[in-house]
A = this chain, B = another copy of it.
Amino acid sequence: MRIVVLAGGIGGARFLRGLQQAAPEADVTVIGNTGDDIHLFGLKVCPDLDTVMYTLGGGINEEQGWGRTDESFHVKEELAAYGVGPEWFGLGDRDFATHIVRTQMLAAGYPLSAVTEALCTRWNPGVRLLPMSDDRVETHVAVELDGERKVIHFQEYWVKLRASVAAEAVVPVGAEQAKPAPGVLEAIAAADVILFPPSNPVVSVGTILAVPGIREAIAEAGVPVVGLSPIVGNAPVRGMADKVLAAVGVEASAAAVAEHYGSGLLDGWLVDTVDADAVGAVEAAGIRCRAVPLMMTDTGATAEMARQALALAEEVRA
């Protein structure tokens, strides 16, 4: 079975680990969000790709869900001593090496997809990890800060400000001109199932879908497309998805997110058991819906979520 998964960072990575347990024989291609990529200290940092790679490769800091295990922060300490920031982005020493290798390969002319493949030969994530695009896309957020309207990098909004102010608009800068990375459209066309993990629907899955050609390819693939709600009981399971949902005029509810994706794209939708009363609304919108436990408390629980998603896909197919 060929499965394509559109993944952001922590939520996507953890879901993928469950999927690997649920379907160990499946051929999984991950289309990773690169809209939260950022250039820091002259280095190209790809937080979501790295979170997937480290999580599936056994290098992740399990507790925080991002960054490397057994990490130290000497480079960052020294950069701060030089007065070079930003200090709010937590790059560890081991993590720095990944960005140094990536930046060096990009400077040598390799596209991000080739660089990601090279990095993965070390981590053996057990999936094919593709960036959504080799072109630079950077999500920016319009906010009002100290009475002034400003457009800031997504990471500044998310990590520095902890989404503490309202997002007035979320713009994936460069997405319109971006092309899907080599292999992305081919993987979608060859897929038996396409899954949207409980990743952020705006700044993770939404950014991937903003690359021209990807949404269309998914809609036209003619295979079941099943998603899992990142919203449980009207709040994001993790992160601050409600803040960016508001910017696109979508309520933070399991049903509203399904309707935001729409029945043109989505065939099936899993909501948490606490949101069982949303099933009717989602089905009324033309999307088959089931209520199952959606808390990724451990890999076993996550694998069960993946199994439910695959079962719903088969139900849709039949």
Contact = CB atoms under 8 A, between A and B. Distances in A.
Contacts of A76: 97
Nearest to A39: B104
B107 A78 contact: no
A129 to B, nearest CB: 15
A82 to B, nearest CB: 5
Q: Chain A interface: which size bin?
A: 20 to 34
A149 interface: no
A119 interface: yes
A100 interface: yes
Contact of A74 (B43, B77, B93, B101): B93
A101 B119 contact: no
B98 A78 contact: yes
Dominant secondary structure at the A interface: helix
A77 to B, nearest CB: 8
Copies in the complex: 2
A285 interface: no
A119 B79 CA distance: 11
A75 interface: yes
A107 B41 CA distance: 11
B96 A84 contact: no
Interface in A79-117: 79, 81-84, 92-94, 96-98, 100-101, 103-104, 107
Contact of A42 (B72, B75, B82, B104): B104
A78 B94 contact: yes
A53 to B, nearest CB: 12
Nearest to A74: B93
Contacts of A93: 72, 74-75, 78, 93, 96
Interface string A122-136: 100000000000000
Closest 8 CB pairs of A and B: A78-B97, A42-B104, A74-B93, A93-B93, A75-B97, A78-B94, A79-B97, A82-B101
30 contacts: A41-B101, A42-B104, A42-B107, A71-B74, A72-B74, A72-B93, A74-B74, A74-B93, A74-B94, A75-B75, A75-B93, A75-B94, A75-B96, A75-B100, A76-B97, A77-B94, A77-B97, A78-B93, A79-B97, A79-B100, A81-B97, A81-B122, A82-B97, A82-B98, A82-B101, A82-B122, A83-B122, A84-B101, A84-B104, A96-B96
